[in-house]
Chain A
Amino acid sequence: MNFLREFKYSAISMVSTMDGMFWTVLYPLILASLFFVIFSASFQFTEKNIPVGAAEKNPYNGIFEMTGILEVIPMEESEALDALRTKRIRAFIHDDLSLTLTESGIAQTVVKSVTDMILQTYALGVPIDPADFDTPYVESRNQKRNVEIILFYSLLAMVSIYSMFGGVFIPVRVQANISKLAVRIAAAPVKRFAFYLPGMLFYILFNLASNILYIGFVMFVLRIPLITDIPVSLLLLGYANMFGIVYGVCIGSVAAWEPQTKTMICVFSSLVLSFLSGMMGPGIKSGIDTYLPILQSINPLGMLTDNFYNVNVLQEYSRIPAFFMLYTVLIALCAAFAFWNSKEVQYDSL
C-alpha cells in the first residue's frame, strides 16, 4: 500500500505542475518541430541544376544543356558581375570557355569540370564516337546521406535522461540533512528504501511514456523514420531512463546545494552532453568522432545517439555492449554516490 501511495503522490506532484509537464512532454515536441522546420528543406532537398550565365550566342550552349547539370541563363558579359554578386548565377561562361567567378565552391567546381571536359575532348586529338559518350562505364548506386537525423536521435538521447528532474527531488523527501520533511521521515519507523523506489519507478515510466510520445510524433506527424528496430531501441531507451533517474538522485543527494542549483546542474549537463552528441549540428559530433573519439565513448548521450543511429539507420549492433557497459558503470557510480550521501547517520539535532 505504501508503495502505491508513494507512487500516486509522485504522479500527482509531476502531473499537477506546469513545469514538469511542459519540460518533459511538450518541450521535446517543440524542439523536434523546430528541427523539422529548418531541416525539412534538406530532408526533401534535391540539388537542382547549377545556374550559369552565358551569351545567347555562346557556341557551347547546346553542350551545356546536354550535360543535364547546367542551366544556362542568357545574358551579356556586362550583366555578369551583378548576377554573380546577387547569386543569380554561380559562374559566367565566356565564348572561349573561360570562366568568371566570384567565389570557390562545389557548384563552381562542377561548372569548371564541364568546361574543362569540352576543352580536353578537343585537345585529346583522337576521334571519339558520339555514341561512346552515352556508354555508361560507371554503375551508379544511391546511398542516402542521412546526417540530419542525428539531431532527432540526439534530442531523444537528451530527453531520455530527463527522468533526472524528478530524481533530483526524491532525496528531498527522504534525506534528513536536506529538508524538514525528511527529518520527520528519518525519525519515523519506516524503511527509507520504500520512499525511493516508487518515486524512481514513476519518473522512469513517466519519462519513458513521454519519450515514446516524442518518437510517435516524429515518426507519424513529422514522418521521419526515426525508429526501425523497436525492441532494441526501447531497451536502450529504458536503460538510459534508469541512468537518468539515478543521476538525478545522485545530484539531489548533495546536501550542500540548493534545489535550484541542482536543477541547473541537470539542465546544463544534459545540454552540454547533448550538444557534444550532435544536437546543435551533426558537424560537431562528426568533429569529435574524428579528433576526440574517447570523449564520445564516455559521453553517455553521445553513446546513446550513436547506438540509435547504428541500430535504426545502419542496422549495426556492434556498439551495444559498449553502451550497456558504460551505462552500467555510470549507474553504479551514481547509485554508490547517492547511497554514500544518504546512508544512515546520527544527526545532533535528532
Chain B
Amino acid sequence: MVWMRKIFALVFLAFSFGLSILWFPPNGQSQTAFSETPLKLLIADKDDSDLSRQLTAYLASKHRITFMKETGSDEEVLRIIKRNISLGKAHAGLIIAPHLEQNLAEKKQGVISFKDDKNITGLYLDMQVQKFLLFAAALKKAEGTFQFDRLHTVLMLSSPVTAEPKKQYGSGIKYFFNFLGWIVFSVILNSIGSALFELNNQRIKMRNSIAPVSSIRFAAEHFAAQLTAVFFLLAVLITFAAVVYRNEIGAVPFFLYLLNTLVYTAVILSAVFTLNAVMKKGAVMGIVGSVLPMVLAFISGVIIEQDFLPNSVLTAAKGFPTYYFVCANEYTEITRQLDLKNIGMMLLFLLLYFTLGVYFTKLNRVQEKIEFAQN
C-alpha cells in the first residue's frame, strides 16, 4: 500500500476507535439492583407557596430538577422550556401557576406540564404530579390540613423489587463487533481494494508480464500480502476491543465474536476481489469504497438495531453479508453459541463473490487477449 493509503487506513481506524468508544461505551459492572431512572425537569414555580414547595421537593427526590427562579417573563420561561425539550436537554418542563391551593380546592388545573406526547416519560411525570395533588387534596378534605409529613411518608412507600442478576456485560462488545462490520469493509475496500485496483493499470501489467516471476508465484505473494495487511488491521482492531472492553471479556464469548468477524472478513476479501474484477474506473472504486460499507452499515442494523428498522429496509439488507454478520453476533450474544445458520449464509456469499470474481477475471483476460490480438 502506498503511504496515502496507509495514512488513510490509520486515520480511519483512529476515527472509528473514537466513534466506537463514544457510541458503545463499556458496560462496567453487572447489574444487581434496581434504581429508578430520574428525568431531567425544568420547573418554574410561580406560586411559591408551601404546597408548591412541597410538590417540587417531592419531584426533586425523584428527578434532576433545574429551577427557573431567576427567569423573568413568562415568555422567557416558555422559550427556555421549549428550547430544552426540543433539543432533548430536558424531558419536561413544569410551570406551577399562582394560587395552587385555591385551584386544588376548586378542582382546577394548577400545573402546566410541557413534554413530548410521543414519549411515555411525559405521562409518567403527569402521573406523579397528579398523584401528589390528589393525595394532598384528599388529606386536606379529610383532616383539614395537608399534613405534609404524613403525605411524604406515604409517598416514600415503595413496592419491593427483585432484580434478577442479568449480566449486562456483552452488549457493548456486541455493538463494537457489529460496528467492526462497517470498519472492516471500509478499510479493506479503501486500502487493499484500491491498492489492488492500481495493479490493473495497463503499464504495471506490461511490466509484470516481462518480469522473471511466474504468474502463480505472483498471485500467491499477492494473496499473502493481502492476508498480512488484513491480519494487521484485524489485530489492531481486536487488541483495541480487548483493552477497552477488558472488564467484559471474561463474561462474553469473545472468541465466537472473533470467529464471526474472521468469516465476515473472508467474505469482504472475496467481495473486494469481485469488485476489482468488475470496476473499470478508479473514481467509481473510490465512491463504492466510501458509500457501499456505509449504506450496508445503516441498513443492516450496525448503527441502529434491526428491531427498529422498517421491514422493507431489512429485506434489502438480506441481499448482503453485513446483515448476516449482525444476525450472527446477535445470536452469539443471546445464546453464547455459534450461529451456524448465519455463518453458513456468509460462507455462501463468500462462494458467490469468489465465483463471480473468477468469472469476471477470466472475462477480462479474454477481452485483453482479443484487444492484444487486434492491436
A124 with B127, Cβ < 8 A, contacts A30-B295, A141-B113 known: no
Q: How far is the CA of A112 from the CA of B286 in the complex (A)?
A: 53
Question: Which residues B129-166 have CB closer than 8 A to chain A?
Answer: 129-131, 133-135, 137-139, 141-143, 154-155, 157-164, 166
Q: Which A residues fall within an 8 A CB radius of B? A: 17-19, 22, 27, 30, 34, 37-41, 45-47, 50, 67-69, 81, 84-86, 97-110, 112-117, 119-121, 123-128, 132-133, 135-147, 150, 260, 264, 268, 271, 280-282, 284, 286, 290, 309, 313-314, 316
The segment out of B243-251, B254-262, B307-315, B358-366 that lies at the interface is B307-315
Q: How far is the CA of A119 from the CA of B79 in the complex (A)?
A: 38
Taking CB atoms, residues of chain B closer than 8 Å to A27 are 291
Q: Is the CB of A84 within 8 A of B164?
A: yes
A143 with B81, Cβ < 8 A, contacts A101-B163, A282-B88 known: yes
For B, the interface residue count at a CB cutoff of 8 angstroms equals: 88
Name 8 extra pairs, CB < 8 A, besides A110-B120, A120-B157, A128-B138: A67-B127, A99-B159, A101-B161, A112-B34, A112-B159, A119-B157, A127-B142, A132-B134
B294 within 8 A of A: yes
Q: How far is the CA of A117 from the CA of B62 in the complex (A)?
A: 14
B82 within 8 A of A: yes
A126 with B162, Cβ < 8 A, contacts A69-B123, A142-B116, A144-B86 known: no
A106 with B159, Cβ < 8 A, contacts A41-B309, A145-B88 known: no
B19 within 8 A of A: yes
**Shortest distance in angstroms between A46's beta carbon and chain B's nearest beta carbon?**
5
The segment out of B234-242, B297-305, B348-356, B367-375 that lies at the interface is B297-305
- A-B pairs with beta carbons under 8 Å apart, 7 shown: A86-B334, A100-B161, A106-B124, A116-B157, A142-B115, A144-B118, A145-B88
Q: How far is the CA of A131 from the CA of B76 in the complex (A)?
A: 37
Chain B interface SS verdict (over half): helix
Q: Give the residue name and chain of the B residue nearest to A19 (CB).
A: B283
B347 within 8 A of A: no
Contact of B87 among A40, A86, A286 (CB under 8 A): A286
Q: Is the CB of B308 within 8 A of A126?
A: no
B340 within 8 A of A: no
Taking CB atoms, residues of chain B closer than 8 Å to A126 are 138-139, 141-143
